[in-house]
Structure formats: structure tokens, C-alpha cells
Chains A and B, each alone.
Chain A
Amino acid sequence: MLEGAEFYFNVDHGYLEGLVRGCKASLLTQQDYINLVQCETLEDVKIHLQTTDYGNFLANQTNPLTVSKIDTEMRKKLCREFEYFRNHSLEPLSTFFTYMTCSYMIDNVILLMNGALQKKPVKEILVKCHPLGRFTEMEAVNIAETPSDLFKAILVETPLAPFFQDCMSENTFDELNIELLRNKLYKSYLEAFYKFCKNHGDVTAEIMCPILEFEADRRAFIITLNSFGTELSKDDRETLYPTCGKLYPEGLRLLAQAEDFDQMRRVADHYGVYKPLFEAVGDGSGGKTLEDVFYEREVQMNVLAFNRQFHYGVFYAYTKLKEQEMRNIVWIAECISQRHRTKINSYIPIL
């Protein structure tokens, strides 16, 4: 792509960019959260959400209101917006959107396969699948018994197909295998997405690459953290790390050798970006979890993405911010419905 996106960006994508910026203005503000936290029941939450951009999205829900109903409706709303963007997009923005949905598709596939492993009916799991990652062949996932089966029969036509190169094997599925498959898929997905943004160049690359680098590093940290005390060997662990982040290559090698949280922290200390994040993590009792800290950092990056114009990152950022907002609302709603108010304030404000 040529340099100087500002000259022709608006011809193809100006409408959508305007739209997404308008949507961003509808994100809940700090004041909204303060009001939400004061709610006594879920009905109150609903009434308050009515005054925001959510409008009466819960109007057609039958009583009693539950958190999962709110969650589903919010997801549906996000999905409607996303579909609208996607349907009105032109290349290469539509490819960008496809990349965005891939992560949800991976999650859905893994979810369904786990379900099949535990012999749960497909319908039950389908409800839990993220609507952004839906595709037609999805429900047939459980007929596959090995990863290569899965690829050849079902996923070969989906956008997920290119990510399968590294994970073809004839092993039958078990829980560990599936988890490995997820991480390998995610790794190649992130790398491919990173490459796409990098090749696109321009402001998109400037905005999206740091976000994806962070995403990759976050995965590396989380994989390391989760692999402590499991049978996963260190070499296997290293193959799971996405290689498009700032940690690559030295940091990843060090991470692969880490054996507990403190060693992980030491690795992060070498990086100016991650040091403060690990410092912010509280110890066991109270304080923030590593996950929360990462989320906060992600929100920050995504909000900053809106400061530049003429790039695709705003769509990514908006979707992620909206997801964070949904997590916040669900958190608050859960706290309210379980009458567990002590932790209600640990949502992550966006604006």
C-alpha cells in the first residue's frame, strides 16, 4: 500500500471510521460506572443502562432478569455493530475484520471440542460460543478425532485454515492436546495478523503492531504462568510462544526457563514496558491480579489508538474496549446479583 493514507483513506473507509468514532463516544463513562455501582438490583442496572447508549436493549427480555441475559444481549448488540461494519467494509479492511473474528473462532472451536470431549450436547455449548466467532461448519467440529481430521474435513474452508500448518498431528484429542492446539493456533494467528498489519504499513501498522506485540507478550506470560506445575515440558512451552512480540527472542528463551512467578517477574524486569505492570501486581491477598493489570494496559493502548486517524486500529480498539466494558458490566451485575459488594469496584474504567 502507498504511503500517505490521509489522502485516500476516506474514499473507502471514511464512513466506517466516522461511525466507529461515533460508537466510541457511546462507551460508558466514569460517571455511568459510579451510578451502576450504586444499583441495588439488576432491574436498577437495566434502568440505568437505558439512559446510556444501550437504550432499551433489554426491553424484550422476560422477567426475571439474569446476568447471563444481560451478557447475551450486550454481545448481540456488539455483534450487530460489528456485522454492520463488516458488511460495509472494503478490502483490505474486510480482511482486517476477518482477522479480528479469527480469535473468536479459535475460542469457539476449542470450546466445542472440549464440550465434545466431555460428551456435552452441542446445543448447550453453542449458547456459550461468542457470536463474533460463529461459522457454519462450527457445529460439526465434534466429528473430528485428530487435529488433521479437523483441518481436512471442517476448517479447510474457513479463515482458520492457514493457522493449522504447525499443529497437524494424528494424535487423538485429549484435554492437553486441545489446549496445545489452541495455543498453537493462537500463535500462528497472532503472527499472521501481525504480518498483515506490518505489510499494510502506514498508520495502521504504527497503531496495530504495538497492540499485537503486547497481545503476543501477554499470551507468552499467561502461558508461562499457567504451565507452572503442569506436565508441559519447557521445550513444548517455548513452541507455544507467539514470536511477534517485544519479548522475542531473548525474553521468550528466558521465559521458557522460568520456573515460578518470581523468575517470570525477573524476565519482565528487563523490559521497560512490562516492569511497571509486574510491579503493580498485588501479592496474593488483595491487590490486582496479573490479568487485571494486563487488561488495564490493553484498555490504555486501545484508547490511545483513537488519537490517530486514517487507520484500521480503531475498529480493533473499539471492539476490545466494548468487550472490556461488557466485562465490567457483567462484573458489576454479578456482584449485585450475588450481593457481594466488597469487590464491586474492581472494574476497569475506560473513559
Chain B
Amino acid sequence: MGSMFRGEEVVLVQFFLPTSAAYSCVSQLGELGLAEFRDLNASVSAFQRRFVGDVRRCEELEKTFTFLQEEVRRAGLVLPPPEGRLLAPPPRDLLRIQEETDRLARELRDVRGNQQSLRAQLHQLQLHSAVLGQGHHLPLAAAPMDGLLERSPLLQPPGGPHQDLRVNFVAGAVKPTKAAALERLLWRACRGFLIASFRETEQQLEDPVTGEPATWMTFLISYWGEQIGQKIRKITDCFHCHVFPFVEQEEGRLGTLQQLQQQSLELQEVLGETERFLSQVLGRVQQLLPPWQVQIRKMKAVYLVLNQCSVSATHKCLIAEGWCASSDLPTLQQVLQDSSSEAGVSAVVHRIPCRDMPPTLIRTNRFTAGFQGIVDAYGVGRYQEVNPAPYTIITFPFLFAVMFGDVGHGLLMFLFALAMVLAENRPAVKAAQNEIWQTFFSGRYLLLLMGLFSIYTGFIYNECFSRATTIFPSGWSVAAMATQSGWSDAFLAEHPLLTLDPAVSGVFLGPYPFGIDPVWSLAVNHLSFLNSFKMKMSIILGVTHMTFGVVLGVFNHVHFGQWHRLLLETLPELIFLLGLFGYLVFLVIYKWLCCSASSAATAPSLLIHFINMFLFSHSPTNRSLFPGQEVVQSALVVLALATVPVLLLGTPLFLRWQHRRSLRPTGRQPEEDKSGILDSSDASVAGWGSDEEKVGCPGDREEAEFVLSEVLMHQAIHTIEFCLGCISNTASYLRLWALSLAHAQLSEVLWAMVMRVGLRMGHELGVAAVVLVPIFAAFAGLTVAILLVMEGLSAFLHALRLHWVEFQNKFYLGSGYKLSPFTFAEED
């Protein structure tokens, strides 16, 4: 938990990996996931690196794996996930795996090829029999023949030139999509020298390649003349038709058909045998492939890391650089020693100084991960910056709950989150792929706390599905009011609205023990009472939250040793914020404590007071809250305004002074003292030398490149942003009031328009019972959809904004980057 407050210390380390043990070292590091490697060969292109050959072999293997995987998938089988912990295989195993994979792939290819060709043969046979069995009844061929036969008794049998008029046949099958084009082309190319008939096959045939059933168009073309025949053959070729010999005699065709059926039966038997063998091979693949895939992926990752290392001058070891948490350094050393013990020379790791800003490492657990995620979505913190996440754990759900306060809604949310938390270890829940579900699931602890806090604020607002609960007796007594002011029956009949006056003794017995008195839910001025309360509460919460943010900045300054910023930035900021808005908070609380019902008529208006404070004026009708108020107010305004120039100029001037002082002892440029602001850029160049020994601190760099105008500009932006921000951010916190009001009103409306209507509907027991079922269903559905999901999302969004903008801009830069260690572990 300690590292939650700020990122862990991360150091740049250099690894000396003996060439023989480098592979095992890196693979061990990958298993542990401790260090992030830096690319030392950024200038070398991918194919010129040292281990590119090994990477290529791994890729080659992966290609084969893809083939095997595809085959398994095509057979409708599933690859089981690999079991157990698989380490990256030693490099010599690569050869074995490669051989075995190749053998498997070869076998599979052979069997698959056999199966393909058998299937193709079978397909061919089936098509042939389909074509023959289709029974094109040769209407075309018959007609001239009949004509000839009829005439034959009258004329001489045809002979001589008529012998050429013999009709020839081409029969075959073509894909239905191409049939029309084929028919047209045939007609155009051969101009009536042929007659073709097309017919669709009755049953569907399996495609030998894809295995999908498809119908075919069989065709029978009869033509006269050899020339035409050649043309037809060319055309059928170009349409990829299957053409079969066609025997003219019916009996001959039947004979062929039987023969074909016989052949296809035999083929099917052989095919069955082949498929059995295929499934055996696939079974082996199924068993072997998953572990191999994991292993080779690890191996490739290791080689890719090794590609980032540079080679030492003696070629005896590889040098790698990387970031690593300093607390992990002993573990790292141990691991390297263990894994390089075989090689004889042990791998060494040691810290090296660096000028770059190290990456940020904040270890999280499943509870804090969600909150850290909220912060990181805004920006990963700079190295060792104060991390807002631990405070967010409480403030985020709380601010959410202020806007979402309702016991019932909070309870539903809490239960939903609780169910997720309790089921989090179930594999089915983890493995769910639904993106929306995953979002909710990863924020389950956030939801849990948000629900819990909503229940709490719900009790404070005294609202449960917009209804007030009477846990304690109300602090107001109507009876006392009635007896004191002597309401008669006639008076009551005339006045539907009656006022309870707290000034009358006995009417207001004392504040309600916890939250809002339930009697308010009956009052018509319920809303104006709540508005006043919620508005003031928003201001108080907002100013507290922002002040907390400014105070957190102190830890940053102390940690980075920038003591001047404590005095020149944080202090003026605090004075400005507290002097103006802190005073407002004070006024609010003071008025709550000191003004009672008896003095209600002459109660001072805070708004007027606050406006007058800035105008240095005084309105006679507005009673002052405490003696000497004007003096205090004027003093505060002057003080606050006085802090602005301090904030604006303090840091830049101090930095300039410090910079000059650091230059003086070096004495390199004595005239530098006299030179003006314009020369400071030259000075920055000279400053490099003196700063070189103080490496590692991010502040040094800025100092080295000191340019006054830039620093001034930066500080001016910061000052303007802060001073204006104080006003606008305070106003921004009023969204707490607005959203909480909206939520309360919406749930009130839902109750009044749906549930109350339903409850009033029938006075007989039966009717009410029947009607209430759909009504309640509607109420429940709308509650979940609108009040929980929609309102919840909007409140979430506003809470997010309050944290990102109003809170974090007081101290959090968020311009760092995350440490992403080299690890084999899969991301959750």
C-alpha cells in the first residue's frame, strides 16, 4: 500500500548477460515480469539485428502452427487451452519442435491432399452420374431423326453428303451462376449449329474444396460439325465445365450409370478410411499444438528482447538496459545468478545514473486497480509524483453519492456490485467477452463503494426510492402548534396549508438525530429548504476538496526538494483560496450555528455580505454577522489580492536568483552578472557542465535550460488558471447540488406518476393485487433503466470531472508514462 501514495523508486539498470546464458536469463525475467527493456539498437533496422535469424525461424514455425490450427478448426475441433506453466523452451528444443511440427504438417498435408483428391474424384463421379441420370430426352436430336425416319420409306436412305449431318453430343455440368453466360456465349459463337438444354441437378453435391453443398447445372449440347465441336470444347473449357462422354444409346448410358455407382461406392469406402486417419492426425495436433504455441510465442518474445541488446566489445556478453523498481533489484540479481549458473560466468545487473525521467510504477491490487484506472485515464503521473488514487478511493464514491443519494438505489447498486465481487473468482464470470459487462466488472469495487456511500447519503437526505423514512421520531410537533395557536375545525377547513413556526415553544423540539427530518417530505417548502442545504453543502465540500488538493501539492514540493515552491506557491495559493472561499465556508457554518428561529426575520444574507466584501462596502439593511466583520473582510480581500503578484513572480525570480548563484562559483562568464535577461539562453548552455554531477533529479534539467521568459510565461498561465479556477471551480462544485436535486426530483416524479397511480387504482384487494403487478414491473424497470443506469452514469461522469479538473489540477501533472515490464503473463 505504501507505493500507492507515490510511485515506487525506479532505476535504470544495466544487465551484463553472458552470451551463453542470455537466453535463459531473459526468459526468466519474462516469467517474473520485473524489468522494462530499452531498445539500444533503435537505429538498426529490423532485419539487420543480431537474432533476426532466430526470430525468423520462430515466425516460420508460427506459420506452420497457423496452418495446423486452421486445419483443426476446419475439422470442427477446438484446441484446448494449454495446461500448466510452460517455460520458454531452451533454444535447442526449437529444432525438435520444428521437426515434429514439420512432420505433422507434412502428414496432415498428405492426408488432406489424399482426401481432397478422393473427394474430387467422388465429386466427378457424382456429377457424371447426375449428368447421365438427368435424362435430357434429346428433344432436339429426336426431331430431325424422327423426320428422317418418317421419310425413309419414301426416299432413298440418306447417304453421301448427308452422312456429315450426324449429331454429336457434349454433356457436362457447370456452376449455376455461369450457366446463363455459357448459354449465351455458345449461342453467339456457334449461331444455331447447336442446341443446348440446361437443367439443374435435383440433389445437392458437396463441393470437394469447401465441403458446402451446391447445386450444379447439367447441360447437353448437340451439334453438327467438327469445327463447331472444337469451338464448344474451348468454350466449355473456359467456363471450367466438367465435360463427360455421352453415350447416345439409352442402354449404354444405364450401364455406365451402374458402373459409376459401383465406383463411387468403392471410393466412399476409401474416403472413410482416409478420414479416420485424418482424425487421428488431427487428434495428435490437438494435443501437441497448444503448448508449442505458447512456448514458441515466448521464445520469439525473448529473441525480440535480445535484439534490443547491444554486444559488448569482447563479444562475450550482451548488454541490456532497462527500468526496474529498486525494491526488485535483489530479486532480479538472484534470478540472473540462478539462471546463468550453468554458463559459468554469472550475469550481472547494476544501476546506472540517467537523466531521463523514469517510468512510473504503482503496484495495485484488485481493489485499488479500478481507482488507479480512473486516475490513469486522465494521465499517468510523473515519476514519484503524489498519486491521487488513494484519496480517490474515498472521495470519488462520496462525491458520487452526494449526487446519487438514495437508500434504495444505493442498496441496489451495492447488491449488484457485491454479487460481482463474490463471484469474481468464478471462471465463467472472468471469461465473459461482453465489453460492457467487462467494464462494469472491472469497476466492481468502485461500484461497491459507490453503492455503500449512496446508502449513507440516502439516509442523510432521508430518501428511499424518494420516500422519507421515520426511523426516529420527528423533531417537530404539530400538536404543540395546534394547541398554541388554537386552530379550530373551521380554520382548518379553510386553510389547506398551515405553517409550523419553530419560534413557538414546543413546536421544534430539537434537530433530527441523523439527516433530514422526515416531516419535511410533507412540507410544500421542502424543495427550498433542501436547495439551501444542498447548495451550502456543495460549497463546503468543494472548498474542502480543493484545499486538500493544494495541500497535497506540499508533498510534491517536499519530495522533490523544491522548498521555495512551498513558500512561493502553496502558501499564496492557500491564502487566496481560504481567504476568499474558506471565509465563505466559515460564514455558512457560522450562520448555521448562530442564527436561530427567533431571529429569523432579521437574519443576515450571506450573498449580500459576500458581494459587499469584494466591493468594500456595507449595506445598512443587512445586519452584520459578528462585530468587526468589515475589517476582517477587507483584510482578507487585500491579503488575497496581495498573494497574486507573489504567485506570479515569486518562483521565476527565485529560480533566476538561484541560477545566477550557481553560475558564480564556476566563474566561467564573469560578465554574466551584468548581462540582462536576454543572455540567459547563453547561460543555459554554460550551465550544463556544472549540473552534470547532480543527475537523476528531474528538476535539474529545467534548471540547466533556464530561460526566464519561458518560466515567467509558465508561471503566469499557472497563476491565472489558479485564481480564475478558484472562482469557477467553486461554482463547478454546485453540480453536486444540481445533480442531487435532479436525481431526487426524477425519482419523486417516477413514484408519483407510476407507483402512486397504481396504489390508488383499486380499493378492493383483488383489483389492486392484479393491477400492481404490471405497474410495479414498470416502476422497477424504469428505476433501473433511468435512475440507476442513466442517472448513475451521469453522476459518475460529473464525479469524474470534479476529480480530474477541480481536484487534480491543483497538484497533479499527469505527464509521466507507465512502466511496462517485459512479461509473459497474459493481460487480464
What residues of chain A have their CB less than 8 Å away from a CB belonging to chain B? 35, 38-39, 43-44, 47-48, 51, 59-60, 122, 136-140, 142-143, 152-154, 156-157
Contact = CB atoms under 8 A, between A and B. Distances in A.
Contacts of A38: 45, 48
Contacts of A60: 63
A57 to B, nearest CB: 13
Contacts of A51: 46
A172 to B, nearest CB: 15
B338 interface: no
Contacts of B238: 122, 137-140
Interface string B156-191: 000000000000000000000010010011001100
Contacts of A140: 185, 189, 234-235, 238-239
B200 to A, nearest CB: 19
Nearest to B235: A140
A48 B234 contact: no
Nearest to A153: B189
Contact of A136 (B178, B189, B231): B178
A348 to B, nearest CB: 22
Interface of B: 45-48, 52, 56, 63, 66, 178, 181, 184-185, 188-189, 231, 234-235, 237-239
Contact of B56 (A39, A43, A59, A137): A43
A142 B47 CA distance: 47
Contacts of B189: 140, 143, 153-154
Given A136-B239, A154-B185, A47 B47 contact: yes
Contacts of A47: 46-47, 52, 56
B56 A156 contact: no
Contacts of B52: 47
B301 to A, nearest CB: 17
Given A47-B47, A153-B188, A143 B239 contact: no
Nearest to B238: A139
B235 A59 contact: no
Nearest to B52: A47
Contact of A143 (B47, B56, B184, B234): B234
Nearest to A60: B63
Nearest to B234: A143
Q: Which of B46, B47, B185, B189 has the most CB of A within 10 A?
A: B47
Nearest to A141: B238
Contacts of B188: 152-154, 156
The 9 closest A-B pairs by CB, nearest first: A139-B238, A153-B189, A140-B238, A44-B47, A47-B47, A153-B188, A143-B234, A143-B231, A140-B235
A129 B184 CA distance: 24
Given A140-B234, A142-B234, A48 B185 contact: no
A103 B519 CA distance: 86
A15 B574 CA distance: 54
A137 B46 contact: no
A48 B239 contact: no
A140 B234 CA distance: 7
Contacts of A137: 181, 185, 238
A257 to B, nearest CB: 42
A333 B350 CA distance: 45
A136 B179 CA distance: 11
A143 to B, nearest CB: 5
Given A44-B47, A154-B188, 4 more contacts: A47-B56, A48-B47, A140-B239, A157-B181
Contacts of B66: 59
Q: Which of B56, B234, B238 has the most CB of A within 10 A?
A: B238
Given A43-B56, A47-B56, A157 B234 contact: no
Contacts of A43: 47, 56
Given A38-B45, A39-B47, A136 B181 contact: yes
A1 B237 CA distance: 44
Nearest to A135: B181
Contacts of A143: 189, 231, 234-235
B376 to A, nearest CB: 29
Contacts of B45: 35, 38, 48
Contacts of A156: 188
Contacts of B235: 140, 143
B234 A153 contact: no
A27 B763 CA distance: 77
B184 A157 contact: yes
Nearest to A138: B238
Contacts of B231: 143
A153 B56 contact: no
19 contacts: A35-B45, A38-B45, A38-B48, A43-B47, A43-B56, A47-B47, A47-B56, A48-B46, A59-B66, A136-B178, A137-B181, A138-B238, A139-B237, A140-B234, A140-B238, A143-B189, A143-B231, A152-B188, A154-B189
Q: Which of A39, A139, A153, A156 has the most CB of B within 10 A?
A: A153
A70 to B, nearest CB: 15
Nearest to A44: B47
B241 to A, nearest CB: 12
Contacts of A142: 234
Contacts of A136: 178, 181, 239
A347 to B, nearest CB: 18
Nearest to B67: A60
A154 B45 CA distance: 52
Nearest to A62: B63
A47 B235 CA distance: 43
A139 B189 CA distance: 14
A157 B185 CA distance: 9
A29 to B, nearest CB: 14
A153 B185 contact: yes
A140 B181 CA distance: 12
A44 B52 CA distance: 10
A154 B181 CA distance: 10
Nearest to B233: A143
A59 B46 contact: no
Contacts of A59: 63, 66
A216 B268 CA distance: 60
Contacts of B46: 47-48, 51
A48 B47 CA distance: 7
A39 B52 CA distance: 13
A137 B184 CA distance: 11
A153 B56 CA distance: 52
Nearest to B240: A139
A133 to B, nearest CB: 16
A122 B56 CA distance: 38
Nearest to B181: A136
Contacts of B234: 140, 142-143
B293 to A, nearest CB: 16
Contacts of A39: 47
A55 to B, nearest CB: 13
